Amino acid sequence: MSWAAGCLIFLGALLAFSGSIGLLTLKTFYERVHPPTMGTTLGTGLILVGSMLHFTAIDGRPVLHEILIGLFMTLTTPVTYMLLVRASLERDRGEGRDPLRTDAARSSPSMRAESPREP
């Protein structure tokens, strides 16, 4: 049981670390949002399952309070990142930039036509 818990905790830490590396290496804010979200959510989940296994084996009784921590992290992390992206998108559009259009789309003749404006 201890080896399984250790492996889960190690894999969770690797996922969280890979999310951090993605945060550092990607160029734009919109690209940087996805890796930490996935790394945090999945990594935290694996770490919590490993913690549940470990302390259940040590205490001899089910340790379930990690489920509340996991539920909180699973619900709040993606919501927080979604709110950050929406706020950034509104700011960029207010400044006259459209971050959803790529450089290739801007130079394409079919994309040069003015898109209809929202009311």
pLDDT at 1: 64
Backbone angles phi, psi at 64, to 5 degrees: -115, 0
Q: Residue 111 has what pLDDT? A: 45
The pTM score is 0.69
Query: Taking residues 89-118, what's their average pLDDT?
Result: 64
Q: Indicate the SS3 state at residue 47.
A: helix
Neighbours of 6 (CB within 10 A): 13
Give yes or no for residue 104 having a pLDDT over 80.
no
**CA contacts within 13 A on the Cβ side of 56:** 15
